[in-house]
Amino acid sequence: MLYLDRPAVPWRGRLWSHLISDVSFAELHAFAEALGAPRRGFDRDHYDLPAERFPMAVYLGAQVVPTREIARLLRDVGLRRPKHLTRPRPPHPRRDLALPVADLG
């Protein structure tokens, strides 16, 4: 089953929804392709879907749920990919470039 929340997240002058699948990422990608959503809209475990694609997603069968349900549904089926587990932290420039201090005794 596919789910999405109502367009409510503002970004770059548009409102966005989150589109998920509780079956597989393959189902999600196929549905997004049918909607004409570019692959770059995929973010870890969901697609960011602009408001103008919302009506077509509902027409094609996606079920509208409250925003708080999106993460819960993904967790319940084991498809949740939180940011802190999927994106390595960038190296800290000062810490990684620091040279050992010589002992000038």
Distance CA 35, CA 50 (A): 11
Amino acid of residue 75: R
The residue assigned the tokens 């475990």 is: 45
User: If you ran DSSP here, which 8-state letter would residue 61 be given?
Assistant: T
CA distances from 43 to 16, 26, 92, 103 (A): 13, 14, 24, 48
Contacts of 78 (CB under 8 A, 6+ apart): none
Q: What are the residue ranges spanned by the domains of the chain?
A: 2-82
Judge if pTM exceeds 0.85.
no
Q: In this predicted structure, what is the pLDDT of residue 33?
A: 96
Q: What is the pLDDT of residues 11-66, one digit of tens each?
A: 999 999 999 999 999 999 999 999 999 999 999 899 999 999 999 999 999 999 99
For residues 47 and 82, which has the higher predicted lDDT (pLDDT)? Answer: 47
